[in-house]
Every structure is written in C-alpha cells, then in structure tokens.
Amino acid sequence: MTYDFLQHYWWFLVSLLGALLVFLLFVQGANSLIFSLARTDIERRLVVNSTGRKWEFTFTTLVVFGGGFFASFPLFYSTSFGGAYWLWMTILFSFVMQAVSYEFQNKIGNLLGARTFQVLLIINGIVGPLLLGGAVATFFNGSNFIVDKGNITSLAQPVISRWANCSHGLDALLDIWNLLLGIAIFFLARVLGALYILNNVKHEVICQRARRQQLTNAVFFLVLFLTFLVRTLLKDGYAYNPQTGLITMEPMKYLHNLLEMWPLLLVLLVGVGALLYGILHTTLRISYTRGIWPAGVGVVLTVLVLLLCTGWNHTAYYPSNADLQSSLTIANSCGSRFTLTAMSIVSLLIPFVLAYIFIAWRAIDRKPLTEDEILEGEAY
C-alpha cells in the first residue's frame, strides 16, 4: 500500500463516519419535535423512549469521528478541535446534556420535573445539528487559523497551529453559508426524526403528526440544501499542487471534482434519489412507514460524496481564510505511513463492528414501541 493510497483510504473512512453521524442525527431531529408530535405525558414518553433506544449510537459515532481524525489526520485534530474549541465544546456539551436528560427525567427525587429535561433534549435537538452542520460547512468555506510547522522547534511556544481570532470557532456561524448548511442539517434531522418515529412507534395520532412534520421540514431542507449545493459547485475551491504543495484558488473546483471523479457523481444522484423516494413515498402512501431506510441510505451516500469531494482530487479539505498556505490537505495533515498502515490493518475489523450494530439494532427494534410497553415496562 502506497502512502498516497493510505491517505485516500483514511479520508474515505473518516468521511463515512461523518456521513453516518449525519444520518444518526435523526435522534436529535425527533427530540426537537417532542412537543410537536406529543401532547400528553404518555405520548411524550413514547417519543423520548423511542429515541432513547438509539442515542448511544449517535454519541458513540461522534466520538469515533473525532478519534478517527486524531489518529489519521492529527494536524486537523489539533487545529480544529484545539483551536475552534468553543464550537466543539458547545456541541459536546449539548450531547452530554442529552445523556443526562434521558437518564434523570423520570427518576425519583427529580426536583426539576420531566418537562425540564425534555426541554433540554429539544435544545440538543436544535444546537447539535445546527453546529455540526456549520462545522461541516467550513470544509467548503474555510476557517480562521494559521499553521506554522517551524514552531515545533520553538522552546518558548512549540505550537504548530493557532486560531487567528478570539472566537475560537464560533465565527463559523457568522458566515451566512455555514449557517445556511447548519439550518439545512437541522431540518434534515427533523425529517429523519419524523420518519424514524413513523417506523418505530405504534401510535396512530403521533404517526399522523409525524407524517405532516416530515413533509413540512423536507420542503425547508430541500430549498436550503439545494441553494448551498448549487452555490458550492459554482464557487471557487481550494486546490493544491501535489508536487509543490502550493494552495491555489480554482474556479468551480468542487464541480470539477464531481465531473473528474464521475462515479461519485453517480453515487450522489443515487443518494439524492433515495432520499427523495423515502420522503415522497411516505407522503403519498399512508400505510408506508419504512421511509427512514431509503432516506437514511440516501443521506449517507450524499454526505459521503460531498466530504470526499473536499479531500480527494488534490483538494484542501480544511481551508484557511487567514492564510491560504496554511490550508490542510490529506497529504500535509496525515499521520505517518506506519500509523496509517497499522490502523488500516485494524480497520479490517470494521465489518464485524457494523454486523454487531446491525444485530443490536434489529434486536432493539424487533417490534414497534406501544403505550402498553411504556406503562408496564421500564422506560425513560
């Protein structure tokens, strides 16, 4: 395996983790709809317990996503997670708040009341997707950081990368296009959340509300996402010369990436088609409740292609707006060849992990959640 192959292989794995994370945001999406889908205490507990079966999958994927960057592209990890720490800490805090809310909302001695913790779940359902979407958008629009590898020899301050302003990542939300994608991901999470509830909860009234919510939120998502996608494909992108490492601006770079890597374009079209099929089939066929699966596959494929376009084909995946030559590529930010090779061998265990997740998911969802299970069984 060549060093170049290992770099591309690990960018594929990190991108796949990112795509799976966006799909698993259906937990946050459903939580943001708690008071829209449920009007009584029992109905709210149905929604909360439905997502409560899956929140660990989302949180674990978020942690593994960060860990994958740490191991394969450590310079990105130190630059983004170490520099834009206010952004990432806010995201992490919202997910910790989610975990606490699930565990304590109906415990004996809860002085705050279940509704307080349900509001915290809603906050996580809004903040999590919004900030994660804004963070992903910086892969296309850039962030304010400076990298100077010469500082590693400095005795006074051996810091390779630093943030160029005091916002430490929160400035990403001042870019209208970053904010646009963040809001689009928020509405996508709500679409996926409504589709998930339709598939996982057996309650006629809740399912009727979920069916209406998935269509309404789908309209907002499609308008925002297509606006972002068209603008991204037509804007200047960040290209680098593999011989010199020089970063330059290239007109319509991301569109060129899709055209030059045409199999990715086909996968993107399949992904968008699968997402639209899940939404439209659920809308037009009242008895259809499995829309989460084609929509989920579509989301994973679409996000995977977009992330691959930011790192493959000699593209700087984490551009710097403060210093263009500080932009990160899979070549200048990756781990050593030995590290990538060793981790590639370990990555052969991934199919077994995915098989375990599939079996566990099937076991959890062997039957839809009902009111009787909430009243008689152990529930959140």
* pLDDT tens sequence across 229-255: 999 999 999 999 989 889 999 999 999
Confidence of residue 292 (pLDDT cuts 50, 70, 90): very high
For residue 41, the one-letter residue type is: D
Model confidence over 103-136: pLDDT tens digits? 887 776 677 777 888 899 999 999 999 999 999 9
Amino acid at 232: T
The full 3-state SS of 207-239, as one line of letters, equals HHHHHHHHHHHHHHHHHHHHHHHHHHHHCCEEE
- Which amino acid is present at 234? L
Distance CA 169, CA 329 (A): 19
User: What is the rounded CA–CA span in Å between residue 214 and residue 186?
Assistant: 12
Longest dimension (CA), the chain: 68
Cα of 352 vs its chain's centroid, Å: 23
Between CA 281 and CA 310 the distance in angstroms is 32
Q: Is the pLDDT of residue 152 over 70?
A: no
Helix (H) or strand (E) holding 197: helix 176-200
Buried b (16+ CB within 10 A) or exposed e, 321-355: bbeeebbbbbbbbbbeeeebeebbeebeeeeeeee
Give the DSSP H/E element, type plus range, for residue 240: strand 237-240
d(CA 195, CA 206): 11
Which pLDDT score, from 0 to 100, does residue 299 have? 96
**pLDDT score recorded for residue 83:** 85
pLDDT per residue as tens digits for the range 23-33: 999 999 999 99
What does the DSSP 8-state code read for residue 68? H
H helices of the chain, in order, are: 3-24, 26-31, 34-37, 41-52, 55-72, 74-76, 82-83, 85-104, 114-141, 176-200, 204-234, 253-260, 262-284, 292-311, 337-346, 350-364, 371-376
pLDDT band at 157 (very low <50, low <70, confident <90, very high): low
pTM of the model: 0.93
The 10 Å Cβ neighbour count of residue 364 is 13
169 pLDDT more than 70: yes
| pLDDT (0 to 100) of residue 156 | 61
Look at the chain and count its residues.
380
